[in-house]
Structure 1
Amino acid sequence: MNISRNDNRAYRAFTLDNGLKVLLVQDKDSTKAAASMAVNAGHFDDPLDRQGLAHFLEHMLFLGTDQYPDSGSFNNFVSQAGGNTNAWTGTEHTCYFFDINNQEFEQALTQFSRFFIAPLLNSAETEKERNAIEAEFKLKIKDDGRRIYQAHKETVNPAHPFAKFSVGNLQTLADRERCISDELRDFFNSQYQAQWMTLVICANETLNTLQSWAQTYFGAIKGNKNLKKPEISEPLYRKQDIGKILHIEPHKHMQKLIISFAMPNIDDFYRHKTVSFIAHLLGYEGTGSLYSILKEQGWINALSAGGGINGSNFKDFNISLALTDEGIEYFEDIIEMVFEYICLINVNTEKLPRLYQDKKNLLQIAFDNQEKSRLIDWVSNLSINMQHYDEANYV
């Protein structure tokens, strides 16, 4: 496993008999322990008539299990033991994570593991949690970032799962012919399978002890190693969905121009950092850069490149510019200059190998000298990395 020279942790990766991938980390110096479980199931997996179901399930797993039936018992235990816990639901993944004092870590693992083995999904809790999701939905209605995201969803291929409504609300999660708790149970049984999960456990215990805990507490998660996740067959964009200009009126004062380039999935090229290098070239702020030219014109206040939505069969590359009042009037000229700058890079390829090597060297120095980040954030990122990268490059 490739690790930083500054990293004094010990690692062990293995797979349980049920197909669950596990990464153990011994950190002798840490005053806290942490764990994270990533599941290859998100709002893309929502049934069309139950949009928001994956997000709803994420909420419900915290509301009692077979061995710990009290609603919120895990949150209370972690909080009283000096820790924190949280979760999020994305397009194709859901992630659960916590940190806690070392002394209480094993007890926390016993409770945490039951989320993925036997959650209650109690119908008595669904009404309260539906209202919590409704409140979350309404809170984001006037958020400009969320509104841009939703406008994006409504202008892609409607047959692609990205077009689904991810959060859910009282309408999409209402009881119908069947109680919603029954549908949650069906979703859990079909999507929360061990072969689609990745677990990180980090503590000051020995790796042998951590492995014993992983086998004892997470070995009962049901799984079928021969069952594969269905691939997304629909493209994110059809021909009629690209080459468009969208004008979005913000609630707050915001003057932003986003130029988005559609690409296929690029996970196979992660070792080369090709997109990061392109982002570096476009985001450069030195003399003669795209940023310096537009800034000198008085048209922009900031420029960033990279990011964008991504998934198992798509990737967007974004160039985002914060416009001045004058820049708003010249947005078409700015777009033209962006494409001219891209052409300039394309015709000066003889300089690119040296620039690429310089960037590679800087990234290697940063990797070798990286400082430890907050443990709970680090383990949650690791569990997601395990969904995408080879074992040697998890960290």
Structure 2
Amino acid sequence: MTTITPHLTTLPNGLRVVAVEMPHLNSAEIAVYLKVGGRHDSRDKAGLAHFLEHMIFRGNAEHPSSLELEADFEAIGGCINAATDAETTCYYTRVHPSHVAEGLRLLSVMLLSPALSGIEIEKKIITEEALEDINEQGEEVNPDNLASRLLWPGHGIGMPTIGYLDTIAGLTEEDLRDHMARHYVPENAVVVAAGQISPDEVFTAVSHAFAGWSGSSPPCQEPVCENQEAPGAIFVKDSDSQVNLQIAFRSFPRQDGRLAAARLMRRILTGGGCSRLHLSLRERLGIVYSVDAQLAAYDDTGCFAIELATAPENLSVAVAEVLRETLRLATEPVGENELGRVRQGYFFDLDYSRDSTFDMQVRYGWGELMEMMRSIEEDQAEAGAVDAAAVMATARELFSPARLNLVAVGPVKAAVKREIAAIIKRYEADFRELS
């Protein structure tokens, strides 16, 4: 099995650089990570981090518009992209191994000399994107955004990363440049290259491209105050044939050791055709097409969210089945065969990631940024140490009713809401019996 080892250096200006050699491949992935995202926006500037990410593409000192920028990346085998989430912003592309240095230079031109022109056009584009999450009455219908509002009320991490219609409309060039001055600084960034690369050549290329980057230390982020004591629920009426359901449990911070068990629990519940909720909701009851779970971990909080869509008349049954399975994990040890199968599937996925330049730049680039750089072997060892007792203990904590938040978007009748309230009450009573 190929062992992948990252090489690290830090430039005099504080910029960290990670080079991940994967000589068995024929491509390279390069990226710049910044530790700034939606949680760093204030309410009146919600969406600022995401808006700036878009504006970086609208020309710079070398490229009058996005067309010339895209053409230069395409000429070296790339397709520049970016993403903003709650805590990070990333600019990334695949490039041909022979053009890694040029790709890194183009990234530096984007980030260090943006024109920030065409703000009003970009507002229209992002407004259209935001409208996808709003119904005819102007209400939020994105279950992720609604769940975040329940999980972290009044905090930036609980706001939609894209912002709100009023905040998007109010953003100015001054806001963008102030945001860049505070957060787009070397100390707050990591440059990474993974694939068929030479670490020394990467370090030299980054040093040349980013040597002129400077800035003060980034501001401290506001911590999350977690004070939920009882289940929460939001029902939003929407004219759809199905109800989109999300049951989101407030989970653990990024450094919490219980995440290893939580990763396996996600697979036990929704990790394929043999998973518990797939067998229950689809194969036995036939009330969903698919069911999935997502595990998010941040600096000081997290979320374990189970998501599905079902017909309105099946909603209460779906809620009952999901909570039956979370309660079961908290009260019954997982069988060794089931746990072993799930663990082995996780090991296989980790091994598959050795063939992906994208996965490796995320693992080691994002990992360095968040002080979570871990090898595949470390992840495998951690998961290998998780036994049935650890799964049950973690489930008792994670799936506690005091961590539960339910979001349902669609045509939900009052009688169904009452049924769901009764189901949650029974769930609370069942959990009280555990203590």
The counterpart of 1:372, out of the listed 345, 355, 359, is 355
Give percent identity, aligned residues only: 19
Q: Which residue of 2 aligns with 1:115?
A: 110
Distance 1:149 1:362 in 2: 27
Code of the residue aligned with 1:191 in structure 2: it is H
1:24 and 2:19 correspond: yes
Q: Which residue of 2 aligns with 1:70?
A: 64
The counterpart of 2:2, out of the listed 1, 6, 19, is 6
Q: Which residue of 2 aligns with 1:243?
A: 231
CA distances 1:256-314 after superposition (whole Å, capped 9, x unpaired):
543322234143327x7121122234347899956545557526446756414442222
Code of the residue aligned with 1:70 in structure 2: it is P
Distance 1:25 1:358 in 2: 30
Q: Helix, strand or coil for the counterpart of 1:313?
A: coil
1:215 and 2:207 correspond: yes
Q: 1:376 to 1:317 in 2, by over 3 A?
A: closer
Q: Indicate if the aligned counterparts of 1:157 and 1:236 stay in contact, CA closer than 8 A.
A: yes
Q: What is the TM-score of this pair, normalised by structure 1? A: 0.79
1:393 and 2:385 correspond: no
Q: Which residue of 1 aligns with 2:423?
A: none
Q: Which residue of 2 aligns with 1:163?
A: 158
Distance 1:91 1:141 in 2: 20
Alignment of 1:304-343 (within 5 A): 304=291, 306-323=293-310, 327-328=314-315, 330-331=317-318, 333-334=320-321, 337-343=324-330
CA distances 1:155-201 after superposition (whole Å, capped 9, x unpaired):
3443211233432466424468xxx1122111100011212212112
Q: 1:18 to 1:254 in 2, by over 3 A?
A: farther
Distance 1:267 1:238 in 2: 21
Q: Indicate if the aligned counterparts of 2:149 and 2:158 stay in contact, CA closer than 8 A.
A: yes
Q: 1:273 to 1:141 in 2, by over 3 A?
A: same
How far has the Cα of 1:341 moved from its partner? 1.6
Distance 2:338 2:53 in 1: 44
Code of the residue aligned with 2:86 in structure 1: it is T
1:172 and 2:167 correspond: yes
Of residues 249-258 and 272-281 in structure 1, the stretch that sits farther from structure 2 once superposed is 249-258
Q: 1:261 to 1:84 in 2, by over 3 A?
A: same
Q: Indicate if the aligned counterparts of 1:34 and 1:376 stay in contact, CA closer than 8 A.
A: yes
Q: Helix, strand or coil for the counterpart of 2:112?
A: coil
The counterpart of 1:193, out of the listed 176, 180, 185, is 185
Of residues 381-390 and 41-50 in structure 1, the stretch that sits farther from structure 2 once superposed is 381-390
Distance 1:205 1:39 in 2: 22
Code of the residue aligned with 2:200 in structure 1: it is N
The counterpart of 2:120, out of the listed 127, 136, 140, is 127
Code of the residue aligned with 2:131 in structure 1: it is K
Q: 1:289 to 1:17 in 2, by over 3 A?
A: same
Q: 1:101 to 1:280 in 2, by over 3 A?
A: closer
Distance 1:51 1:42 in 2: 10
Distance 1:223 1:85 in 2: 25
Q: Which residue of 1 aligns with 2:426?
A: none
How far has the Cα of 1:41 moved from its partner? 0.5
Distance 1:101 1:329 in 2: 52
Q: 1:131 to 1:303 in 2, by over 3 A?
A: closer
Code of the residue aligned with 2:182 in structure 1: it is S
Q: Which residue of 1 aligns with 2:46?
A: 51
Q: Which residue of 2 aligns with 1:92?
A: 87
1:261 and 2:253 correspond: no
Q: Which residue of 2 aligns with 1:39?
A: 34
Q: 1:286 to 1:47 in 2, by over 3 A?
A: closer
Q: Indicate if the aligned counterparts of 1:59 and 1:129 stay in contact, CA closer than 8 A.
A: yes
Alignment gaps of 5+ in structure 2 = 378-435
Q: How many residues align?
A: 374
Q: Helix, strand or coil for the counterpart of 2:315?
A: helix
Distance 1:188 1:153 in 2: 26
The counterpart of 1:136, out of the listed 129, 141, 147, is 129
Distance 1:331 1:203 in 2: 44
Q: Helix, strand or coil for the counterpart of 2:80?
A: strand
Q: 1:151 to 1:386 in 2, by over 3 A?
A: same
Code of the residue aligned with 1:161 in structure 2: it is G
**Higher helix fraction (1 or 2):** 2
Code of the residue aligned with 1:243 in structure 2: it is P
Distance 2:272 2:168 in 1: 47
Q: What is the TM-score of this pair, normalised by structure 2? A: 0.72
How far has the Cα of 1:48 moved from its partner? 2.6
Distance 2:79 2:9 in 1: 27
Distance 1:288 1:168 in 2: 35
Q: Indicate if the aligned counterparts of 2:151 and 2:158 stay in contact, CA closer than 8 A.
A: yes
Q: Indicate if the aligned counterparts of 2:28 and 2:197 stay in contact, CA closer than 8 A.
A: no
Q: 1:256 to 1:29 in 2, by over 3 A?
A: same
Q: 1:46 to 1:75 in 2, by over 3 A?
A: same
How far has the Cα of 1:121 moved from its partner? 2.5
Q: 1:10 to 1:133 in 2, by over 3 A?
A: same
Q: Helix, strand or coil for the counterpart of 2:167?
A: coil
Q: Indicate if the aligned counterparts of 2:242 and 2:311 stay in contact, CA closer than 8 A.
A: no
Q: 1:252 to 1:16 in 2, by over 3 A?
A: farther
Q: Which residue of 1 aligns with 2:198?
A: 206
Code of the residue aligned with 2:101 in structure 1: it is E
Distance 1:250 1:169 in 2: 19
Q: Indicate if the aligned counterparts of 2:13 and 2:187 stay in contact, CA closer than 8 A.
A: yes
Of residues 186-195 and 161-170 in structure 1, the stretch that sits farther from structure 2 once superposed is 161-170
Alignment gaps of 5+ in structure 1 = none
Q: 1:332 to 1:87 in 2, by over 3 A?
A: closer
Of residues 165-174 and 259-268 in structure 1, the stretch that sits farther from structure 2 once superposed is 165-174
How far has the Cα of 1:140 moved from its partner? 4.2
How far has the Cα of 1:94 moved from its partner? 0.6
Code of the residue aligned with 2:109 in structure 1: it is R
Q: Indicate if the aligned counterparts of 1:299 and 1:323 stay in contact, CA closer than 8 A.
A: no
How far has the Cα of 1:361 moved from its partner? 5.2
